[in-house]
Structure 1
Amino acid sequence: MPEQSSPQRRGRLFRFGSGLVALLAVAGYLVVQYVTGGSGGPGCKVVSGKGDGASYEFTPEQAVNAATITAVGTARGLPERAVTIALATALQESALRNIDYGDRDSLGLFQQRPSQGWGTPREIMDPTYSAGEFYDHLVKVPGYTRLPLTVAAQRVQRSGFPQAYAKHEPDASLLAAALTGQSAATLTCEGRPGATRASGADGVRAALVRDFGRDVLAPAAAQVDASPSSASTPSPGDTAPSPGDTAASAPSPGTSATTAPSPAAPATTAPSPSGSAGDGGRTVTLPVPPGTPSAGGRGPDQRGWQLAHWAVANASELHIARVAYGGREWVAGSTASEWREAAVAGTAGAERAAETVRIVTMR
């Protein structure tokens, strides 16, 4: 006669079955996130420019928010240390995710509270606004660049766990070095397409204006290249700026990009080079003239790498296929998503490539 299962055995089988179902559900979620380009797992990586082997892996969602926090800081002319403090704070408060919940009425990247005067819930949920608010408070802390990071952050946040910020300083430093352009070709992403923002050249331009302010498009007439092939590439200054894209209409470095005017009409278009891989969409070209200091006094090379890394960080969100600067290029979906030497024909072509950031969209 078959032995009847005991209540204990049935309980164990039930728990095992429940655990297996939960495990399969999590596995399925991660697969979907991977296929759709969601933020369920790391898709980006930043490495140290010092050759010490340090690295940090993070998700496309975190990359977009880190790039915005950095752009807002540098647009105000703030030093890399300010950006590092801001990034470490956001890592602790929200893991660099723009969450709509928190302790009491805390919201957003920095868990700012409407009831404490940080802004309305809608404003705080805007990463550009919330980053600006953080910097507004940080610069009022006397000698903040010389203070330990956890002390500077705590003077702004008034957290119940003031020592928690310190553990994020190494990762925040890596991110700040890459996203301010201090270290070249150190940030990569897989570039799986997302679906949360407008894509194409107009989407890239709008995101640039939102994060950096309108003057990011003003130097030497930032242009949008059409996809049909042609025999040669126009030089950075060959295209006139669109109405409203001049430096005269740009906000001051201290102005939040959320208050900037809406993006101007599409820039004048010009053909892309013949046979360029990845130019099946459209290309936003951002000239970085030699000898011209950028926002915050940064030199052109650092400014160029800041814009290039910003584009890679936004690759999934904005459907960016390729980014090129300084004789190197990043291509979405390539092996290890690494920066590689770009193939540029002729000396003149190499000079133009070194002086412009080219952002090629997937469509």
Structure 2
Amino acid sequence: MHRDDPSEQNQTPPEVASRSGDLGSTGRTIGRHRKPEPPRRGARKLLASTPVRVALATGVSCCLGFAAYAGTRDDGPDRSEPLAEAVADRAALADERASRSLERTVATPTPVSPSPTPTPSPSATKKKTPAPKKPPKPRKPRPVAGLTQAQMDNAKVIVDVGRELGVPERGLVIAVATAMQESNLYNYASGVLPESQEYPHQAIGWDHDSVGLFQQRPSSGWGTVADLMRPAYAARAFYLALLKVPGWQDMSLTVAAQSVQMSAFPDAYAQHEDRATTVVDALT
């Protein structure tokens, strides 16, 4: 048969057919879900020629043989077993660690301690102590009975000292009337005693060494000049002397005052009794 006979060109040699079948099976083995594409029409014509068919068959046989040899070659003992054992050991170790962590978490839960309540600093809780209020100044008594404010202030000192000593109101009136007669309720210094002028005073007299509201004389033992120039001390000295007079409560104002003062004008005290009573009533 002639080589160029079309019938001969359309026939496929048995070798190529069988090897094409092997090639298809190999394709299916290598790519499990991949179906080999059919040869194109140009390739069929190329395979029709004898030399090309031999070369192609030889190459395919080599590839198939190498693939079969690589898939079935046994180089020695199975190496997959140590790898599987290592993977199994690692999995067991991971399970053991996980189980230990779970046991610690469940058996001994970490207690959550409450956050400590912040303690306020002393500077924050300490209340400011208010400054002590200054005691209000005593109101000055309103003058009565024609007295000036200075006279009324001195009369108040006399009354306050008598009340502290527990002297009855009759004794207060006697003391105020006596000061009205002796000094007109002004604190006198003495022109004879320059020392007396060194202390607060409201007037200067010249009756010997008599000083203060009651014109008491230091030379007679009433006290020092410094003491007698203080209205409170002078009033106390008068009351103490009056309380020593027996029956002074039943005496007239003039007799009671004269018993203490020993004045050259004993009857002069009586004229101040009404005014003194008005002043004492206003102050008590």
TM-score of the superposed pair, with normalisation by structure 2: 0.44
The structure in which a higher percent of residues are helix is: 2
More relative contact order, 1 or 2 (CA 8 Å, 6+ apart): 1
Larger Rg: 2
Choose between structure 1 and 2: higher strand proportion: 1
